[in-house]
Amino acid sequence: AQKITQTQPGMFVQEKEAVTLDCTYDTSDPSYGLFWYKQPSSGEMIFLIYQGSYDQQNATEGRYSLNFQKARKSANLVISASQLGDSAMYFCAMRQGGGAQKLVFGQGTRLTINP
Amino acid sequence: NAGVTQTPKFQVLKTGQSMTLQCAQDMNHEYMSWYRQDPGMGLRLIHYSVGAGITDQGEVPNGYNVSRSTTEDFPLRLLSAAPSQTSVYFCASRSTVQSNQPQHFGDGTRLSIL
């Protein structure tokens, strides 16, 4: 069964510093996708970045990048030059290939950016 | 530009009552799903649908029913509400055309069972 693990319940970072949020996954399926979502205190789920298991390069979206280490089964989110508005819950999720296309979420990391 | 719309946003029920959480999307997405979010547990999949007339169970389906009569709508029914069903419920949809498409979430329904 697929599983997502986020080992950092909370992180505190100074504004403008870079931050890495950890995510490890477990799957036996060679085809899968990894997603990161942000959930601010207002509650909505905001999609940030996607990495496919066959992608040759690490994904990047603006200040967000994904440090994908396939052999170690890790997909860490890197936020460069953090801002106060980055304070939120961050969830890593995985979708296996095939018809089911179900998404499994980790428990999340609460990131707090200090001024 | 509505996206995924959930109603109601808040609801308080008494134990044993039934109700339906509504979810509608206007993006012609084939795949729709319901999640519940409990403190410290992330999102867990309740039910999902890969198209009209097709539904299947997720990780935590007990106590919930779904149906998918149209592409746009995917209601979630609580048959007999229990305090353990107090949670925030999210509906999501995505296109299945490409594997890199993310799920689009509604704003959630905060449900309290007394």
For residue A47, the model assigns a pLDDT of 94
Q: What is the predicted pLDDT for the residue at B52?
A: 93
B39 touches chain A (CB under 8 A): no
Which residue type occupies A12?
A: F
Question: Best mutation site among A48, A101, A104, A107 for testing chain B: the one with the most B CBs within 10 Å?
Answer: A101
CA A22 to each of CA A77, A82, A83, A103, B32: distance values in angstroms, whole numbers, following the listed order: 7, 16, 19, 18, 28
What share of chain A has pLDDT > 90, as a percent? 83
- Indicate if the pLDDT at residue A21 is higher than 70: yes
Structure tokens of A97?
Answer: 């290939």
> What average pLDDT is seen over chain A?
93
Among candidates A33, A43, A45 on the partner chain, residue whose Cβ is nearest the Cβ of B99: A33
Q: What's the confidence (pLDDT) of residue B97? A: 74
Q: How far is CA B33 from the centre of its chain?
A: 6
Report helix, strand and coil shares of chain A as percent, to nearest 5: 5, 55, 45
For residue A12, give every residue at least 6 positions away whose Cβ sits within 8 Å of its Cβ, in sequence order, or none. Answer: A112, A114
Phi, psi of A94 (to 5 degrees): -130, 140
CA-to-CA dists, residue B37 to A42, A66, A108, B87, B111, angstroms: 14, 25, 11, 6, 11
Q: How confident is the model at residue A2 (pLDDT cuts 50, 70, 90)?
A: confident
Look at residue A85 in the predicted model and tell me its pLDDT: 96
- Strands ordered across the beta sheet of B76-78: B4-7, B19-25, B76-78, B64-66
Reference A6, options A20, A26, A17, A21; nearest CA is A21
Asked if A108 reaches chain B (Cβ–Cβ under 8 Å), the answer is yes
Model confidence pLDDT, tens digit, residues B25-40? 999 999 999 999 998 7
Mutation site, B32, B34, B41, B43, interface A, largest A CB count within 10 A: B43
At B47-85, the pLDDT tens digits run 999 999 999 999 999 999 999 999 999 999 999 999 999
Cβ of A47 within 8 Å of Cβ of B42? The answer is no
* Stretch B80-105: mean pLDDT: 90
- Among B40, B41, B58, select the one facing A102 at the smallest CB separation: B58
Q: How far is A86 from chain B (nearest CA, A)?
A: 19
| Omega of the bond leading into B83 within 30 degrees of 0 (cis) | no
What local confidence, expressed as pLDDT, does residue B29 receive? 93
pLDDT at position A97 is 64
Q: Which of A23-32, B9-18, B66-75 has the lowest mean pLDDT?
A: A23-32
Q: What is the pLDDT of residue B7?
A: 96
In terms of phi and psi (left: phi > 0; alpha: psi -120 to 50; beta: otherwise), the region of A108 is left
Q: Check whether A29 has a pLDDT greater than 90.
A: no
